[in-house]
């Protein structure tokens, strides 16, 4: 039988993560090289014990295994309480909250609900890869706002040509971001609201790293900007903030009408998340302050060590006050994909080439803070001995 993928499949290339990993495993097997993996942003610490206990207890109940279809009221109310407590934002849990199967699922499906082929979606270069995946699924066209080091990597809305803004349907932004951990401000988000109103553009702010901040000051939520709920939504996840990546639970909050449209699409796509996971997520949100403090401290310490070490090596590190990554320009005249493979071959450190996130990532690599400080120090020692 001849298997012919759809034309659309030509838009989806294999992700580089598994290629890098395969190459590293080969080095390990052939040369006995120790590998330090700083590529995937998957939290290395386990979820808090109360969450693991709760999940296992509920998983034993025979009644836990039916379709849930959508979010439980318990989950939606916990999201609303969490936003009120930590962000001072009021949400109607029944109309302004929707659950997604990890934020990845929300990100790739949301453009389908709002964009037609030919519509423009504004996103950034570099940006998290799922945005493009969703835009392609909807048949829409990406317009990339370059992230400029001079502006602290904050997307410059004024640089978007008016004819592009007029055709745009959706704007996706992400702060603190992946791969670039820029810091959001109320002034900036207010500018985003005004821009969205002027051009009738739906805004989606990805706040996946909202609990990882290093300054004592929580990154502001998009919904705190006056008028934000009129123009958009925020997507947030329990994957990073609560080390629950494998349970696949996240949510979108904001404009009730937009959420209703997305709920209609989702009712055709999936049957909801395992009830014990929903309940564990609600418990996590209700105990966010206790649970996230240790994780925040750990990531903050790792960020400090890795940033200082790279700067000492002569790398140019993007300043950041939060997130889970270090975005750094290496001091060699070599493209980022070749550099990433050389780093594995010569010293066994896996980093993601900046161009994986867009052309503006050339000359950069992304390092995930997913190893303990001792291993980060070891990785820095190894990186010192790279010869290009
Ligand atoms: C910015 C950003 N958004 C969303 C996600 C997806 O996370 P999840 O689907 O686990 O919620 C990631 C994962 O790395 C991310 O970096």
Asked if residue 331 and residue 190 are part of one domain, the reply reads: no
Task: Look at residue 53 and tell me if it is in a domain.
Answer: no
Asked if residue 78 and residue 34 are part of one domain, the reply reads: no
What are the pocket residues of ligand 1 if the criterion is a CB atom closer than 6 Å to any ligand atom?
A: 41, 102-104, 128, 174, 178, 206, 208, 237, 239, 245, 250
3-state secondary structure the chain: CCCCCCHHHHHCCCCHHHHHHHHHHHHHHHHCCCCEECCCCCCCCCCCHHHHHHHHHHHCCHHHHCCCCCCCHHHHHHHHHHHHHHHCCCCCCCCCEEEECHHHHHHHHHHHHHCCCCCEEEEEECCCHHHHHHHHHCCCEEEEEECCHHHCCCCCHHHCCHHHHHHEEEEEEECCCCCCCCCCCHHHHHHHHHHHHHHCCEEEEECCCCCCECCCCCCCCHHHCCCHHHHEEEEEEHHHHCCCHHHCCEEEEECHHHHHHHHHHHHHHCCCCCHHHHHHHHHHHHCHHHHHHHHHHHHHHHHHHHHHHHHHCCCEECCCCECCEEEEECCCCCCHHHHHHHHHHHHCEECEEHHHHCHHHCCEEEEECCCCHHHHHHHHHHHHCCCC
Q: Given 241, 259, 289, which residue is the final one in a domain?
A: 289
Asked if residue 109 and residue 32 are part of one domain, the reply reads: no
Q: What pLDDT shows up at residue 181?
A: 85
How many structural domains compose the chain? 2
Task: Look at residue 57 and tell me if it is in a domain.
Answer: no
Task: Look at residue 27 and tell me if it is in a domain.
Answer: yes
Rounded distance from Cα 180 to ligand 1 centre (Å) = 13
Instruction: Give the C-alpha distances (Å, rounded to integers) separating 291 from 217, 246, 294.
Output: 17, 17, 7
- pLDDT by residue (tens digit) across 292-314? 999 999 999 999 999 999 999 99
Residue among 103, 126, 251 to mutate when testing ligand 1 (max atoms within 8 A of CB): 103
- The DSSP bridge pattern shows strands 232-237 and 202-206 to be parallel
Rounded distance from Cα 160 to ligand 1 centre (Å) = 26
Ligand 1 atom with the smallest distance to the CA of 104 is: 9
Instruction: Give the C-alpha distances (Å, rounded to integers) separating 269 from 123, 134, 234, 262, 387.
Output: 25, 14, 21, 11, 50
Please say whether the beta carbons of 386 and 348 come within 8 A.
no
Asked if residue 204 and residue 347 are part of one domain, the reply reads: no
Residue among 105, 233, 239 to mutate when testing ligand 1 (max atoms within 8 A of CB): 239
C-alpha torsion sign, points 72, 280, 129, 23 = negative
Q: What pLDDT shows up at residue 369?
A: 97
Task: Look at residue 350 and tell me if it is in a domain.
Answer: yes
Q: What pLDDT shows up at residue 381?
A: 97
Count of alpha carbons within 13 angstroms of residue 83, beta-carbon side: 26
Task: Look at residue 2 and tell me if it is in a domain.
Answer: no
Query: For the chain, what is the radius of gyration of the CA atoms?
Result: 21
Residue among 123, 127, 128, 369 to mutate when testing ligand 1 (max atoms within 8 A of CB): 128
Domain that holds residue 102: 65-289
Asked if residue 140 and residue 96 are part of one domain, the reply reads: yes
Rounded distance from Cα 385 to ligand 1 centre (Å) = 32
Asked if residue 357 and residue 275 are part of one domain, the reply reads: no
The pTM of this model reads: 0.96
Asked if residue 343 and residue 243 are part of one domain, the reply reads: no
Asked if residue 270 and residue 195 are part of one domain, the reply reads: yes
Task: Look at residue 59 and tell me if it is in a domain.
Answer: no
C-beta atoms surrounding 88 within 10 Å = 10
Rounded distance from Cα 208 to ligand 1 centre (Å) = 6
Instruction: Please name the residue whose Cα sits nearest to atom 14 of ligand 1.
Output: 41
Q: What pLDDT shows up at residue 280?
A: 98
Q: What pLDDT shows up at residue 35?
A: 97
Ligand 1 atom with the smallest distance to the CA of 106 is: 9
Task: Look at residue 228 and tell me if it is in a domain.
Answer: yes
Asked if residue 331 and residue 282 are part of one domain, the reply reads: no
Rounded distance from Cα 63 to ligand 1 centre (Å) = 31
Q: Given 243, 273, 289, which residue is the final one in a domain?
A: 289
Per residue of the chain (388 residues), give pLDDT as tens. Answer: 999 999 999 999 888 889 999 999 999 999 899 999 999 999 999 999 999 999 999 999 999 999 999 999 999 999 999 999 999 999 999 999 999 999 999 999 999 999 999 999 999 999 999 999 999 999 999 999 999 999 999 999 999 999 999 999 999 999 999 999 888 999 999 999 999 999 999 999 999 999 999 988 999 999 999 999 999 999 999 999 999 999 999 999 999 999 999 999 999 999 999 999 999 999 999 999 999 999 999 999 999 999 999 999 999 999 889 999 999 999 999 999 999 999 999 999 999 999 999 999 999 999 999 999 999 999 999 999 999 8
Ligand 1 atom with the smallest distance to the CA of 249 is: 11
Asked if residue 29 and residue 69 are part of one domain, the reply reads: no
C-beta atoms surrounding 18 within 10 Å = 11
Asked if residue 115 and residue 38 are part of one domain, the reply reads: no
Asked if residue 15 and residue 138 are part of one domain, the reply reads: no
Rounded distance from Cα 235 to ligand 1 centre (Å) = 10
CATH number of the structural domain spanning residue 353: 3.90.1150.10
Task: Look at residue 31 and tell me if it is in a domain.
Answer: yes
Rounded distance from Cα 142 to ligand 1 centre (Å) = 19
CATH number of the structural domain spanning residue 253: 3.40.640.10
Q: Given 239, 264, 289, which residue is the final one in a domain?
A: 289
């Amino acid at each position: 039988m001849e298997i012919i993928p759809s034309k659309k499949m030509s838009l989806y290339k294999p992700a580089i993560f598994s290629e890098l990993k395969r190459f590293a495993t080969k080095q390990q097997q052939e040369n006995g090289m120790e590998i330090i993996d700083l590529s995937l942003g998957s939290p290395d610490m386990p979820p808090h014990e109360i969450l693991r206990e709760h999940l296992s207890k509920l998983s034993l109940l025979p009644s836990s295994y039916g379709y849930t279809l959508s979010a439980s009221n318990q989950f939606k109310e916990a999201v609303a309480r969490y936003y009120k407590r930590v962000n001072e934002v009021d949400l109607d849990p029944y109309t302004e909250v929707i659950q997604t199967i990890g934020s990845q699922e929300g990100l790739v499906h949301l453009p389908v609900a709002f964009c037609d082929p030919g519509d423009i979606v504004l996103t950034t270069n570099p940006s998290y890869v799922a945005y493009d995946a969703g835009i392609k699924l909807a048949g829409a066209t990406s317009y990339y706002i370059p992230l400029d080091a001079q502006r602290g990597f904050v997307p410059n809305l004024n640089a978007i040509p008016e004819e592009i803004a007029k055709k745009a349907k959706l704007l996706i932004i992400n702060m603190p971001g992946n791969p670039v951990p820029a810091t959001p401000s109320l002034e900036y988000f207010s500018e985003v609201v005004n821009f969205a109103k002027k051009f009738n553009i739906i805004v989606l702010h990805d706040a996946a790293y909202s609990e990882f901040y290093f300054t004592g000051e929580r990154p502001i939520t998009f919904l705190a900007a006056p008028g934000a709920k009129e123009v958009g939504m925020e997507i947030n996840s329990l994957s990073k903030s609560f080390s629950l990546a494998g349970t696949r639970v996240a949510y979108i909050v904001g404009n009730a009408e937009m959420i209703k449209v997305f709920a209609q699409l989702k009712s055709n796509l999936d049957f909801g998340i395992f009830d014990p996971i929903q309940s564990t997520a609600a418990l996590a949100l209700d105990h966010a302050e206790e649970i996230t403090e240790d994780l925040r401290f750990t990531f903050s310490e790792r960020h400090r060590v890795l940033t200082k070490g790279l700067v000492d090596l002569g790398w140019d590190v993007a300043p950041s006050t939060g997130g889970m990554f270090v975005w750094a320009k290496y001091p060699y005249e070599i493209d980022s994909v070749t550099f990433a493979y050389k780093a594995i071959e010569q010293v066994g450190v896996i980093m993601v080439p900046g161009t994986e996130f867009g052309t503006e990532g050339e000359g950069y690599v992304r390092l995930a803070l997913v190893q303990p400080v001792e291993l980060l120090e070891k990785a820095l020692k190894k990186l010192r001995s790279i010869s290009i």
